[in-house]
């Protein structure tokens, strides 16, 4: 019997717990950061507009919330350090979790909350690129929040009675009591020190009862799917996989075959957009803006799709006549991210590996840096302000537009219609992200690039690997709410998938009939047939003696 | 009884030409495929006709494993795969796969272009050979076929060096290749888990040496280099392009920086710059310190060390030159050696092991008059120093690895017979395991005693574990059941199920015998006493309270 606890309702930032053969295994611990959209942006440079916002007043005129909530561009935002929505911590005692398996660096952002606050004493398993890049993402997050000291933290509005009176979307925000402030760097280091590095196809024995194996999932550097198996049961955990040829090693599909249960999470968040088309649109919009003398802002994470975008631009800029336009990559971890991307040869696709064998750097951004076309800076302060030339293209975080250097550029460039902001990360609704900056003169282009599996690829994959049962988030079992007629945008398989939602416990159906034991080689040489005769001799001897 | 057979085709009581055949549970694996630096004739390559006289090698070998890129471990590979003929898989790590073809090409050039040999492998053959290579990750379990699996561990000898575990069912062999148990300036220490192989095949280059602390050796080295340079002498350090070279470069680079020295340091051949590139791109294979700081400063970007030009050798004044190859058997290092050997101010430092027959070996054994090509006699007046910087485990390290892996048997290769003998005794004394040291072509057979994996029906398992105490996972436990052997699989099921499955009727056998006992006690008391007595004395495993139709005693 296998039990499955679902601790996160976000289909691409999962957090599940599997109880399997008396081992408690947590699968990913994603952090839902969409909660930050309810907060005001944190400007790096004092912004007169944001600091003079009126407090929010209830309909009956009471003003007790005006310190915590501010009205901005017709919406109400919480004026406080942004907070994140944690995975469920009450559903089961998290100190009983034996191991945590991480599938990719986006799905480990809640790790410090789990390892440092719940009494967790187990081991975390992840690949080396996942850990290194995950560390960079966390470092950037902590850095961009700690850089702006904001004394205030708001809590009054979270009171259930108060929350009811608030306008949407605050009124409908779920689990606000679970929202937490960002962790600190010491907590990140402590959490990461609990990770044990693993390689693809490495068989890891857990207490001699269960074997877990990471497989390449093709989505990001070091991203993995996991096989959790005993001798007779096999659970496949598929999370954030891609069949497109980008920079990572291709997905290992064959090893997923013959699963009793396949848990499917992390499909594309934009099933209607074709990543290749989006990249083309990204390039042409970028070129057009720059040619007209405008600047381009690309809110992004410091690793992942940015490598592919830089590679596309590397091939594109000369033909588009952009060779004199500076590209800036601003992040506290920009340099590390660019350097790290070059040293994970073993985790790259075949083409990039072949380049390393030459030996040449696998990513062409090395050349962009060498020729001074791409420059990177830890922040807008310091060297950047001296080198800064317009028009230019800026890659910076955070994609939520609530913190990080991106806030500064939104304030700086938002008023001019020459400039463009291009959204490529699919994690946040771009309209919600832009809400506190309205009205904007700047052009906004939405080119979400999500390389994860779409529904056509999923049904092909399921046909290929033939699992007995499929388990997936409930969102995947119905068409998206905004496109209810698109019945092709849901998982279609036989038997129908079992679905789950946040805070639900599921019993997985499969039952085993056999178990593996080992017979000691001595047994084959025991005189089994001698037994009755020896027994008789013994009894006869007893009868003759005076033992009794 | 199941057995594992091991035959070294090279590296049996010898250093060089590593090539070891292993047969385990019907699978044949070849470990390394090296050349011998000491020979220029047929003996430089392993004698592959031992494997088969006329068939194709592919039919006899399931796979080939290469531990690292040194030529004495991979130098015969293109000859083996392209000229003798092998199309099966060849496994090595990513850095090895990247660097190996470059060293092979270099070796080919020296042999064919410089020495003018024919009937040697070509550049194309090296390329074709590398196409058969499958790169493996550390700790990745590679399924060669349904039964045979291999797994690589970090060996710390050179960039990408690995140890390999070969496993079929319950039987396994671990092969160390060359390894180093102490982390150095650029590599980490070898590590293997407690995999308890039936056989551990370990190198034993430094079987009898227990090296003093690394720090002392380094200080000694720096002092000697410094002194020579101070008095205007030239220092020649013959190295292989990749490996110790980088270690010593880092050492000298930091020393030059600290002491603010001006004498030039050169590194011969264009190979080096390329070599350092590999170290930069495969930085995940270096030690923790370098990995941690590489974003700020890449240790393999040297400031003081420049490329060497042939003309520099005649320049006056002091200099330090790293030149390839490491054993002074050919190439640039030998050329420079000939130029500088006559001057007693100069010094040659041999930082690694030299195979018999090489110039390096000759001068290290005290020879001062060398017969060169063309009957020319070269008198060596320069100082000759030997400093062991090769990243091999010393006797202490070898013992440490054995302790880590807990093998049931040990087999020594890649060492000299006399030294092996000493180590063999030590291992047998300390670990109480058999230790073997076969010569080339000699087969060692090891009997294994593997457990037999059986499927047990869950019902039976639960019923059996319900009796008695909770089972201890690590201890053997007695179970009753019926073993069904069918289609190559073993299943343990309850007698009822077995009868049903096989369509047999149940028969009962009863063994009886009549025993007279004189006992004044009551009947049931007597029964209990007989039972308790027997329980304590006989067959603690087999004896259970009366059940399963075993009527213990009938009293009259």
The predicted-structure confidence for A182-207, as pLDDT tens digits, reads as follows: 999 999 999 999 999 999 999 999 98
Q: Contact, A472 vs A505, CB < 8 A? A: no
Tell me which chain B residues have a C-beta less than 8 angstroms from the C-beta of A518: 170, 451-454
- What is the least distance, in Å, from the CA of A346 to any CA of chain B? 7
Cα angle for residues B191, B192, B194 (degrees, 5° grid): 140
What pLDDT, on a 0 to 100 scale, did the predictor assign at position A548?
42
Residue bearing tokens 């310091």: A382
Whole-number pLDDT of residue A322: 87
Please judge whether B295 and A518 are an interchain contact, meaning their C-beta atoms are less than 8 angstroms apart: no
| Residue in B82, B203, B253, B464 annotated catalytic | B203
Chain A residues closer than 8 Å to B461 by CB: 515, 517
- For residues B12 and B354, give the distance between their C-alpha atoms in angstroms, rounded to a whole number: 17
Smallest Cβ distance to A518: which of B283, B452, B553? Answer: B452
Task: Give the pLDDT of residue A535.
Answer: 60
CB contact under 8 A, A513 and B519: no
Is A519 close to B451, i.e. CB distance below 8 A? yes
Tell whether the model's pLDDT for residue A355 goes beyond 70: yes
Of A87, A111, A108, nearest to A7 by C-alpha is A87
Q: How far is B86 from chain A (nearest CA, A)?
A: 23
Rounded Cα distance, B5 and B24, in Å = 7
Per-residue confidence (pLDDT) for residue B525, from 0 to 100? 78
Cα distance between the two ends of chain B = 49
List B residues 471-510 in contact with A (Cβ-Cβ < 8 A).
Answer: 473, 476, 479, 490-492
Residue B48 has pLDDT above 60, yes or no: yes
> Max alpha carbon distance in chain A (Å)?
115
Say yes or no: B94 contacts chain A, CB-CB below 8 A: yes
Distance from CA of B379 to the nearest CA of A (A): 41
- DSSP string of B415-478? S-HHHHHHHHHHHHHHH--EEE-PPTT--EEEE----EEEEEEHHHHHHHHHSSSPPPTTS---
Confidence of residue B543 (pLDDT cuts 50, 70, 90): very low
- Interface touch A520/B456, C-beta < 8 Å: no
Contact A516 B491 (CB under 8 A): no
Asked if B37 contacts B329 with a C-beta cutoff of 8 angstroms, the reply is: yes
Question: How far B208 CA lies from chain A's nearest CA (Å)?
Answer: 35
Contact B348, B236 (CB under 8 A): yes
Residue B483 pLDDT grade (very low, low, confident, very high; cuts 50, 70, 90): confident
What b/e string do you get for A221-244 counting C-beta neighbours within 10 Å, with b at 16 or more? bbbbbbbbbbeebbbbbbbbbbbb
Which of B281, B451, B529 minimises the CB distance to A518?
A: B451
**Which of B277, B456, B517 comes nearest A548 by C-beta?**
B517
pLDDT at A182: 94
Give, rounded to a whole angstrom, the gap between the first and last alpha carbons of chain A: 51
A339: chain B residues, CB-CB within 8 Å? 294-295
Of B140, B452, B515, the CB nearest to A540: B515
Tell me: the pLDDT tens digits for A393-410? 999 999 999 999 999 999
Kindly identify which residue of chain B lies nearest to residue A545, measuring between CA atoms.
B517
State the Cα–Cα distance between residues A314 and A308, nearest whole angstrom.
10
Residues 502-531, chain A, touching B (beta carbon < 8 A): 512-521, 524, 531
Closest CA to B458 of B442, B487, B474, B479: B479
Inter-chain CB proximity A517 and B456 less than 8 Å: yes
The answer to whether the Cβ–Cβ distance between B453 and A335 falls below 8 Å is no
CA distance A199 to chain B (A): 6
Looking at every residue in chain A, the average pLDDT score rounds to: 90
Residue with tokens 């054994």: B365
CB pairs under 8 A between A and B: 132
User: Searching chain B, which residue's CA lies closest to the CA of residue A335?
Assistant: B295
Which A-chain residues 314-373 have CB contacts (< 8 A) with chain B?
335-336, 339-340, 342-346, 353, 356-357, 359-362
Hey, which bits of B176-328 come out as E strands?
199-203, 234-238, 265-267, 305-307, 319-323
DSSP H/E element including B133 = strand B133-136
* pLDDT on residue A175: 82
């090395």: which residue's tokens? A366
Q: How confident is the model at residue B74 (pLDDT cuts 50, 70, 90)?
A: very high
Question: Does B532 score more than 50 pLDDT?
Answer: yes
Whether chain B has a CB inside 8 Å of the CB on A1: the answer is no
Q: Which residue of A has its CA nearest to B462?
A: A515
The string of DSSP codes covering A124-148 is EEEEHHHHHHHHHHHHHHHHHHHTS
SS3 at position A224: strand
Chain B residues in contact with A514 by the CB 8 A cut-off are 455-458, 491
Q: What is the mean pLDDT of residues B314-332?
A: 87
Q: Is the dihedral of CA A321, A323, A329, A330 positive or negative?
A: negative
In a mutational test of the B interface, the residue from A346, A524, A525, A536 whose CB has the highest number of chain B CBs within 10 Å is: A346
Nearest to B94 among A345, A360, A512 (CB): A345
Average pLDDT, integer, range A451-478? 93
- CA atoms of A290 and A264, how far apart (whole Å): 41
CB contact under 8 A, A517 and B281: no
Residues of A in contact with B515 (CB under 8 A): 539-540, 542-543
Per-residue pLDDT averaged across B215-221, rounded? Answer: 86
Q: Which two tokens stand for residue A228?
A: 């959790």
Number of Cβ atoms within 10 Å of the Cβ of A294: 20
Categorize the per-residue pLDDT at B542 as very low, low, confident or very high, splitting at 50, 70 and 90.
very low
B551 within 8 A of B544, measured Cβ to Cβ: no
Burial group, residue B311, by CB count within 10 angstroms (0-12, 13-18, 19+): exposed
Burial class (CB in 10 A: 0-12, 13-18, 19+), A137: buried
More confident residue, B40 or B60: B60
pLDDT, tens only, B413-456 = 999 999 999 999 999 999 999 999 999 999 999 998 888 888 88
**Cα separations in angstroms, B142 against A199, A227, A235:** 11, 15, 20
Per residue in A27-47, pLDDT tens? Answer: 999 999 999 999 999 988 888
Q: What is the mean pLDDT of residues A261-265?
A: 95
| Contact check, Cβ <8 Å, B94/A516 | no
What is the per-residue pLDDT for B548?
A: 38
Q: Does residue B344 have an active-site annotation?
A: no
Class of residue B215 by CB neighbours under 10 A (exposed 0-12, middle 13-18, buried 19+): exposed
What does the DSSP 8-state code read for residue A52? T
- Any idea which residue has 């979400």 for tokens? A448
Nearest to B274 among A359, A512, A531 (CB): A359
């Amino acid at each position: 019997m296998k039990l499955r606890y679902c601790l996160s309702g976000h289909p691409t930032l999962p957090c599940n717990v599997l109880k399997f053969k008396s081992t408690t295994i947590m699968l990913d611990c994603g952090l839902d950061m969409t909660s930050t959209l309810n907060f005001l942006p944190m400007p790096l440079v004092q912004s007169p507009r944001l600091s003079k916002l009126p407090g929010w007043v209830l309909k009956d005129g009471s003003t007790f919330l005006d310190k915590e909530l501010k009205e901005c561009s017709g919406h109400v935002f919480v004026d406080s350090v942004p907070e994140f929505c944690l995975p469920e911590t009450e559903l089961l005692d998290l100190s009983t979790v034996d191991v945590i398996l991480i599938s990719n660096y986006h799905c480990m952002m809640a790790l410090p909350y789990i390892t440092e606050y719940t009494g967790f004493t187990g081991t975390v398993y992840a690949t080396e690129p996942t850990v290194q890049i995950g560390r960079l993402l966390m470092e950037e997050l902590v850095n961009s929040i700690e850089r702006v000291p904001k004394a205030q933290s708001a809590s009054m509005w979270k009171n259930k009675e108060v929350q009811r009176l608030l306008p949407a979307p605050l009124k409908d925000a779920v689990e606000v009591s679970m929202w937490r402030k960002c962790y600190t760097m010491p907590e990140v280091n402590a959490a990461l020190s609990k990770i044990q590095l693993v390689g693809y196809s490495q068989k890891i024995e857990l207490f001699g009862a269960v074997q877990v194996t990471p497989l390449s999932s093709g989505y990001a550097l070091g991203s993995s799917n996991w096989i959790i198996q005993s001798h007779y049961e096999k659970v496949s955990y598929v999370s954030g996989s891609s069949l497109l040829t980008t920079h990572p090693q291709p997905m290992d599909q064959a090893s997923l075959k013959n699963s009793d249960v396949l848990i499917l999470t992390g499909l594309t968040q934009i099933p209607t957009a074709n990543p290749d088309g989006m990249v083309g649109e990204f390039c042409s919009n970028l070129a057009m803006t720059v040619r007209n003398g405008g600047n381009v802002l690309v809110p992004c994470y410091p690793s992942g799709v940015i490598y592919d975008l830089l590679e596309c631009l590397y091939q594109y800029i000369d033909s588009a006549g952009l060779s004199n336009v500076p590209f800036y990559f601003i992040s506290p971890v920009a340099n590390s991210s660019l350097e790290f991307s070059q040293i994970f040869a073993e985790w790259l696709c075949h083409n990039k590996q072949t380049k390393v064998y030459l030996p040449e750097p696998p990513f062409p951004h090395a050349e962009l840096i060498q020729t001074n076309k791409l420059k990177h800076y830890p922040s807008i302060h310091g060297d950047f302000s001296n080198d800064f030339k317009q028009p230019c293209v800026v890659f910076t975080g955070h994609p939520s537009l609530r913190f990080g250097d991106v806030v500064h550029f939104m304030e700086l460039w938002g008023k001019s219609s020459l400039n463009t902001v291009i959204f490529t990360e699919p994690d946040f609704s771009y309209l919600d992200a832009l809400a506190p900056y309205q009205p904007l003169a700047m052009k906004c282009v939405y080119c979400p690039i999500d390389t994860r599996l779409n529904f056509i690829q999923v049904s092909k994959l399921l046909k290929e690997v033939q699992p007995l049962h499929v388990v997936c988030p409930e969102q995947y079992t119905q068409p998206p709410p905004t496109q209810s007629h698109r019945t092709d945008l849901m998982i279609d398989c036989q038997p129908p998938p079992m679905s789950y939602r946040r805070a639900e416990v599921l019993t997985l159906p499969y039952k085993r009939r056999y178990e593996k034991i080992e017979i000691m080689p001595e047994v084959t040489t025991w005189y089994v047939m001698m037994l009755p005769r020896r027994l008789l001799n013994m009894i006869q001897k007893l009868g003759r003696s005076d033992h009794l | 009884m199941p057995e594992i057979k091991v035959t070294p085709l090279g590296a049996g009581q010898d250093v060089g030409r590593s090539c070891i055949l292993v047969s385990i549970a019907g699978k044949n694996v070849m470990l390394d495929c090296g050349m011998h630096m000491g020979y220029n004739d047929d003996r430089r390559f392993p004698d592959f006709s031992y494997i088969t006289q006329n068939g194709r090698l592919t039919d006899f070998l399931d796979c080939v494993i290469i531990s690292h890129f040194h030529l004495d471990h991979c130098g015969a590979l293109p000859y083996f795969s392209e000229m003798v003929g092998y199309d099966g898989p060849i496994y090595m790590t990513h850095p090895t796969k990247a660097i190996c073809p470059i060293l092979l090409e270099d070796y080919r050039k020296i042999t064919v272009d410089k020495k003018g040999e024919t009937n040697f492998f070509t550049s194309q053959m090296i390329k074709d050979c590398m196409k058969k290579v499958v790169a493996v990750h550390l700790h990745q379990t590679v399924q060669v076929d349904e039964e045979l699996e291999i797994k690589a561990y970090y060996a710390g000898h050179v960039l990408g060096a690995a140890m390999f575990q070969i496993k079929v069912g319950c039987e396994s062999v671990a092969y160390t290749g060359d390894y180093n148990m102490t982390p150095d300036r650029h590599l980490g220490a070898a590590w293997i888990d407690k995999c308890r192989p039936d056989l551990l095949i370990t190198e034993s280059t430094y079987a009898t040496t227990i090296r003093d602390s690394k720090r002392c050796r380094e200080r000694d080295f720096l002092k000697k280099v410094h002194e020579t340079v101070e008095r205007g002498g030239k220092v020649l350090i013959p190295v292989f392009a990749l490996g110790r070279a980088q270690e010593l470069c880092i050492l000298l680079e930091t020393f030059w920086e600290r002491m603010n020295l001006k004498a030039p340091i050169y590194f011969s051949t264009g190979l080096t710059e390329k070599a350092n590139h590999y170290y930069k791109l495969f930085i995940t294979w270096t030690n923790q310190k370098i990995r941690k700081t590489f974003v700020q400063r890449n240790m393999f970007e040297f400031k003081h060390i420049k490329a060497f030009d042939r003309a520099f050798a005649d320049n006056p004044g002091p200099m330090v030159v790293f030149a390839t190859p490491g054993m002074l058997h050919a190439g640039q290092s030998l050329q420079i050696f000939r130029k500088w050997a006559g001057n007693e101010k100069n010094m040659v430092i041999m930082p690694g092991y030299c195979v018999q027959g090489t110039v390096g070996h000759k001068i290290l054994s005290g020879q001062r008059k060398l017969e060169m090509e063309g009957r020319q006699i070269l008198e060596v007046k320069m100082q000759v120093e030997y400093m062991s910087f090769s990243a091999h485990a010393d006797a202490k390290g070898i013992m440490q690895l054995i302790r880590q892996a807990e093998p049931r048997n040990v087999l020594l290769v890649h060492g000299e017979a006399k030294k092996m003998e000493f180590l063999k005794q030590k291992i047998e004394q300390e670990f109480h395991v058999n230790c073997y040291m076969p010569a080339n072509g000699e087969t060692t057979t090891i009997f294994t005693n593997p457990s037999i994996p059986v499927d047990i029906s869950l019902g039976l398992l639960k019923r059996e574990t319900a009796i008695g105490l909770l089972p201890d996972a690590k201890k053997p436990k007695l179970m009753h059941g019926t073993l069904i052997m069918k289609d190559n699989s073993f299943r343990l099921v309850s007698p009822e199920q077995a009868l049903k499955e096989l369509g047999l009727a149940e028969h009962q056998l009863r063994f009886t015998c009549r025993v007279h006992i004189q006992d004044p006690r009551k009947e049931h008391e007597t029964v209990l006493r007989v039972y308790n007595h027997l329980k304590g004395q006989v067959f603690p495993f087999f004896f259970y309270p009366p059940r399963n139709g075993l009527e213990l005693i009938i009293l009259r």
